[in-house]
Amino acid sequence: MVGRSPRSVAGQVFLLQVALIALLVVGAVVAQVLQSQRAGSAEAERRSVAVAQTFAHSPGILSALRAPEPSKVLQPLSEAGRKSAGVDFIVVMDTHGIRYTHPQPDRIGKRFVGRIDPSLAGRVHTESVHGPLGHEVQATVPVNDGDGKVVALVSAGLKVKTVASHAERQLPLILSAGAAGLVVTTAGTALVGRRLQRQTHNLRPDEMARMYKHHDVVLHSVREGVLIVSADARLLLANDEASQLLDLPQGAEGRPVAELPGLTSGIRELLTSGRKATDEVHVAGERLLAVNQRPAGPDGCAGSTVMTLRDSTELRALSGRAEMARERLKLLYDAGLGIGTSLDVTRTAEELAHIAVPRFADFVTVDLVDAVLHGEDPVDEGSDMRRTAVKGILKDHPFCEVGCLIDFIPSTPHARGLGTGRSELVSDLGTATGLHLQAPERLKRIQACGIHSLVSVPIQARGVMLGVATFWRSRKPEPFDEEELSLAEELVARAALSIDNARRFTREHTLAVALQRSLLPRALPEQNAFEVAFRYLPAQSGVSGDWFDVIPLPGGRVALVVGDVVGHGLHAAATMGRLRTAVHNFSTLDLPPDDLLSRLDDLVSRIDQDESDSDRDSSVIGATCLYAIYDPVERRCVMARAGHLAPALVSPDGDVTFADVPTGLPLGLGGMPFQTAELQLAEGTQIVFYTDGLIEDRARDLDVGMDMLREALARHPDRSPDQHCQAVVDELLHGRPKDDIAVLVARTLATPADRVADWDVPCDPAAVAGMRAAVSQKLEEWGLSDLAFGMELVLSELITNAIRHGSPPIHVRLLRDRTLTCEVSDGSSTSPHLRYAATTDEGGRGLFLVAQVADRWGTRYTPRGKVIWAEQAIAAHDAPPAYQARPPAQRQPGRTVHEDDARSAL
């Protein structure tokens, strides 16, 4: 340590370390002493408690206390115990604190010094007191008799100086260990200080700070790159400018020059050769570098060289700007030709993204207001945005897929642009707080792909905000600038007008399609009662009110309906839609055909009256309707008609007749009841429903048209319903009809007998258990054991209700169709209803349980009472082959992303 100045860094570090080590050793010694004292006190308390408890519970203590003179018996015992236990005293006293024993016999009979209340309460009490022997640590415990009563107290303890003597005996050892540690650590500190002195050249701290500060300022602030290479071609130093110009990796210093990635062959050869160079021009990436190299000065390392680099690409940048302007003009020209080639909103958005990638941006996303995709005017700007187009240089892009519904929060650039109508430029995605709040996880994936900057441009045309286009950059390190923002706005402006034109066309097209689709059912429902085919031919011009429907009913039954609203035009079509809806609603009540037509007649009368009062020119005179219900189990068909033509029946052998159904007045005239006709149909019979436009014409009478229909249907028993439809249209029509025509052909099917089971049930609650067993057995035969529990529960509730609240006869029918149906009928017409039973009610929960277990349930009335039915779904693989359900409808294009992810999308 000779020559070390106390003002140098080495001297200051040495003094600081010595002081710190001394402080730590002294602290350790003090802590050890205190710990030893605390440990001695704790040990004294534990020993006192143990001795007192042992003596208090020793045999003979109670008998000694009952002796005439307890002190004569207890004093020798307590002294012997004290000496053997190593304590200073053992005192036995009565419950008033009067001593029986004491190491000083003259203290016997006097009051004990200390608290005895806790011990009288049955607890062990330790304390420190000043007693006859001096400062003492004592423990007092109770002595209990056989009944647990405290009859005496025992106290044992040590003098404090006895406890302290144990700690003092350990003090020399502690001090010796501390001194040894101080010597060893001081020697180590001296060695470290000597090495530090050599490395710092015995400089003072301010001198070292000034030297390194000047070194960093000069090295890293100059606009020239500086490299120092050793004699063995290893990189010793590279400043920030050199690392940036040569794109050196982190940790490059110390590595051989030949192993550094990114160096051009010319610069690598120059660095390894060590030759002199003056203003040599080398290309490094997109930069032109002027390079100088010289050997290091005399004070440097032997054989090392120093290289300086200057960026001289300014002239090249000026020439590049002119080229960029030309490319932008070409991009705008191509956008004018390539955007808006079709009147499709989605296609136009895709064209915008295709033009911009990769010539302007690396990724483009186009989000349109969801209403715009349907041709509607946008209402709420910034919400319900649909991802319409995504294009990028990578197929596996990090953005939300096309079809995702996005709700931009107000702080995002997209929402701000939609609200203000101005474009937003984000130079660094890391500072975009709104994007972090919108979708933090997705933003991390976006940044992981190298995307660092964006331009968000609102899409608006004719004062309508249609959406937002976002351009993202990843390959170029520099962010978008103001010039590129203007270019993006120009691109979007050209696309916005095309998108708005496509939106308007979509709106008109959607209205026309919606009107056309409203005239007919979009698809016939699945059912097992009929094979159905239909034809609908619109009139030459305009629309009318002809319609038909196939409506599945409970119990495997199916309703067929065909109708015709009087008049033409949009008003007739709208009225037809109202009637179709009404028929569907009334059919859910499971009404017989005559009751349903009566309710429909009242509805048409009210519609006619309301519209006659407001606009007499648009009033509806009436409508015709034919409604039929077919039961495939009993092969029975019940029909009623209101002014409509009777249906044709084609028997399995090819004979054609017209059903004898009583004629009722057209709907809306009112005043007369409707009558039904019940037909027993053979399996394979085809029922032909049609509207008057098929057989009525100015060139022929109605009877002629009926005969032509009979001829078209007759003598062809092998025709399918679809073939019959086509044959009727071909033979009765020539050219485009002047009136709407609807033809519906349904071939009857019969439910196989092994798919139906029925039982008569006695009016006795005891019969319920037997019915459960019978139904369970039948379900097992059908392979539907998994539905047995639920169906047994439903059956029990329905039969019990029929027995308690209905009247005989009670009948149960189990039907396996597309669903498993349980029907319980009785002779009462009392309508059950679902309710919430109170906690104090003894009943009232039956139908509630049925509603929870069954998929559907309801009631229909018969001339002999009522039927309560309940359905449970059957898995597709459990259904018979003819009853298999169609696969679920495919999701619409563009809706493949869950819409509840809107807030997390980006």
More confident of the two residues 768 and 387? 387
pLDDT at 607: 80
> What span, in angstroms and rounded, lies between the C-alpha atoms of 529 and 749?
5
What is the model's pLDDT at position 738? 73
Work out the average pLDDT over 518-525: 75
**H/E element, 562:** strand 558-568
Q: For residue 636, how many other CB atoms are within 10 A of its CB?
A: 14
CB hemisphere CA count around 581 (13 angstroms)? 9
Phi, psi of 880 (to 5 degrees): -65, 160
> Residue 658 pLDDT more than 70?
yes
Q: Which residue has the higher pLDDT, 196 or 902?
A: 196
The percent of residues above 70 in pLDDT, for the chain, comes to 81
- Residue 889: the pLDDT is 35
- pLDDT at residue 111 is higher than 80: yes
| CA gap 328, 334 in Å, rounded | 10
CA 209 to chain CA centroid, nearest Å: 57
Residue 42 has pLDDT above 70, yes or no: yes
Residue 735 has pLDDT above 90, yes or no: no
For residue 810, give Cα distances in angstroms to 496, 730, 794, 796. 71, 52, 16, 13
Nearest to 237 by CA among 222, 258, 223, 220: 220
Identify the pLDDT of residue 605: 85
Q: Higher model confidence: residue 509 or residue 759? A: 759
pLDDT band (50, 70, 90) for residue 165 = low
Which range is least confidently modeled, 234-238, 513-517, 659-663, 671-675? 513-517
DSSP 73-108: HHHHHHHHHHHHHT-SEEEEE-TT-BBS--SSGGGT
Residue 320 pLDDT > 50, yes or no?
A: yes
Q: 708: exposed, middle or buried (C-beta count within 10 Å: 0-12, 13-18, 19+)?
A: middle
User: Is the pLDDT confidence value at 505 over 50?
Assistant: yes
CB 312 within 8 A of CB 305: no
Tell me the pLDDT tens digit for each residue of 195-241. Answer: 666 666 666 666 666 666 666 666 666 777 888 888 888 888 888 77
Q: Please report which confidence band the pLDDT of residue 36 belongs to, taking 50, 70 and 90 as the band edges.
A: low
pLDDT at 893: 38
How does pLDDT run across 848-899, given as a tens digit for each residue? 777 888 888 888 888 888 898 888 888 755 555 544 333 333 333 333 444 4
Q: Which of 148-157, 256-265, 544-553, 650-659 has the lowest mean pLDDT?
A: 256-265
pLDDT for the residue 891: 35
687 pLDDT band, cuts 50/70/90, is very high
pLDDT at 557 over 60: yes
CA angle 343, 345, 348 (to 5 degrees): 80
- Across the range 230-256, mean pLDDT stands at 81
- Least confident range from 438-452, 686-700, 834-848: namely 834-848
For residue 876, what are its two tokens? 């597709």
Provide the pLDDT for residue 149. 86
Q: Is the pLDDT of residue 669 over 50?
A: yes
Taking CA atoms, 808 is separated from 762, 794, 814, 829, in Å, by: 8, 20, 19, 12
pLDDT band at 795 (very low <50, low <70, confident <90, very high): confident
Range with lowest mean pLDDT among 37-46, 141-150, 328-337? 37-46
Question: Environment class of residue 119 by beta-carbon count within 10 Å: exposed (0-12), middle (13-18) or buried (19+)?
Answer: buried
- pLDDT above 90 covers what percent of the chain? 25
**47-61, 460-474, 519-533, 604-618 — most confident range:** 460-474
pLDDT for 357: 92
Secondary structure class of 46 (helix, strand, coil): helix
Helix (H, G, I), strand (E, B) or coil at 487: helix
For 438-488, write each residue's pLDDT tens digit: 888 999 999 999 999 999 999 999 888 999 999 999 998 899 999 899 999
Specify whether the CB–CB gap between 528 and 816 falls below 8 A: no
Residues 324-351 have a mean pLDDT of 86
Question: Coil, strand, or helix at residue 411?
Answer: coil
How long, in residues, is the chain?
Answer: 906
What count of other Cβ atoms lies within 10 Å of the Cβ of residue 852? 11
Q: Which residue did the predictor score with more confidence, 519 or 416? A: 416
Average pLDDT, the chain: 81
Residue 58's CB is within 10 A of a number of other CB atoms, namely 14
Reply yes or no on whether the pLDDT at 281 is more than 50: yes
Contact status, residue 819 vs residue 873, Cβ threshold 8 Å: yes
pLDDT at 316 over 80: no
pLDDT at residue 574, as a whole number: 76
pLDDT of residue 160: 67
Most confident by average pLDDT, 126-130, 570-574, 646-650, 702-706: 646-650
Give the H or E element holding residue 869: strand 865-873
Q: Point out the least confidently predicted range of 6-20, 375-389, 492-506, 596-610.
A: 6-20
Q: What does the pLDDT read at residue 896?
A: 40
Is 754 exposed, middle or buried (CB count within 10 Å of its CB: 0-12, 13-18, 19+)?
exposed
